[in-house]
Copies of this chain bind each other. A is one copy, B any other.
Amino acid sequence: METVQYLDDTGRPLRELPFNPEELRQGYRALRRARHFDERALVLQRQGRLGVYPPFRGQEAAQVGVALCLQANRDWLLPSYRESAAALTFGMPIHKLILSWRADPAGWGAPPDVNMVQFYIPIATQIPQAAGVAHALHLQGQGAVAAVFIGDGGTSEGDFHEGLNFASVFNVPLLVTVQNNGWAISVPTHKQMRVQRIALKAQGYGIPGVVVDGNDLVAVWSVAREAVARARAGQGPTLIEALTYRVAPHTSSDDPSRYRTEEEAEQWKQRDPILRMKNCLLHLGLWSEEEEAELGEALEAEFQAELALADQAPEPNPWEIVEQVYHKMQPDQEAAWQYLRGEKA
């Protein structure tokens, strides 16, 4: 299968880009914003101010390119743990994301105007659910779409298959983006599946499957834009395989040296999606180092303001454990709640 690409490995455009200058600048800013978040999050994690954190470094373009095509108050996003960049770009406030990775319940519910379901931890369960959400959107007839993400490893789960089958049978407006980052923790893609291209699996469902250079924002964005347009027009789901690489460890608890070489990661760092996009803009004369510096400062200011918001959130109370289990507390939760309030002997 052919891999859709717009930029070469250094970022030089290979052909005419299907976005206007302002769009391209907007795309780059979104990428940088994601990278900034990831870097800061890792710092917080090391300071003990975040729980286990799954970084996405290297995968920004694959996530941002899709999220840029979505409208948070209309479309839906169902991300796995890896997709903080997609969440951020989609519209999740940074302080919510921080709280979420702090495992603070205050971070779990998206704002009312952001249709994002909390990051999925069990692998692949989001796929059938996304098919259901997309079917609902279709029935509601407003042209909204759902977008769901999964990793290369996740494609092995039965739910990936069942979800894609439902999506295709009901012809729902859904984008399924597989971030093929080469690894599922320590298991390389070739031990995960025998097929070379995950997008080939789309043929088994009778839906379009596209392979895209996942480190090329322009490519991901344009492929996603087409898929979203198709979906909005009632033409059903698309499977997008974004070829990318997890430059960072699996999570903040992982040690990648146990299973892969430094060289492999180094090679991929050369194809860094942010560098490529920046070079593209520079090449087209759409960006300057001044703007770069300004952007860095703006992002840091934004992050710090959001961090302050997150830090203001009160510590979760023990009795919150049994809240929001049912719409109305049932007797067993009520008893536990009373106990946890310290009102029980």
A contact set with B: CB distance below 8 Å: 156-162, 165, 168-169, 171, 191-196, 200-207
Q: Which residue of B lies closest to A156 (CB)?
A: B165
A202: B residues at CB distance < 8 A: 204
A206: B residues at CB distance < 8 A: 193-196, 200
Q: Which residue of B lies closest to A128 (CB)?
A: B158
Interface centre among A158, A201, A205, by most B CB within 10 Å? A158
Across the interface, A171 reaches (CB within 8 A) one of B159, B171, B194, namely: B194
Task: Please give the distance in Å from A128's CB to the nearest CB on chain B.
Answer: 9
Interface centre among A195, A196, A200, A201, by most B CB within 10 Å? A195
Across the interface, A158 reaches (CB within 8 A) one of B157, B196, B204, namely: B157
A196: B residues at CB distance < 8 A: 206
CB <8 Å contact, B169 and A162:
no
Task: Please give the distance in Å from A152's CB to the nearest CB on chain B.
Answer: 12
Q: Which residue of B lies closest to A207 (CB)?
A: B194
Across the interface, A192 reaches (CB within 8 A) one of B161, B169, B171, B207, namely: B169
Kindly list 4 other residue pairs between chains A and B, CB separation below 8 angstroms, not including A156-B162, A168-B195, A194-B205.
A169-B193, A195-B205, A200-B203, A204-B204
Task: Please give the distance in Å from A137's CB to the nearest CB on chain B.
Answer: 19
Across the interface, A205 reaches (CB within 8 A) one of B159, B162, B165, B193, namely: B193
CB <8 Å contact, A200 and B204:
yes
The 9 closest A-B CB pairs, nearest first, are A158-B158, A161-B161, A201-B204, A194-B206, A195-B206, A168-B194, A204-B204, A158-B162, A203-B203
CB <8 Å contact, B195 and A203:
yes
User: In the assembly, what is the distance between CA of A193 and CA of B166, in Å?
Assistant: 8
Q: Which residue of B lies closest to A161 (CB)?
A: B161
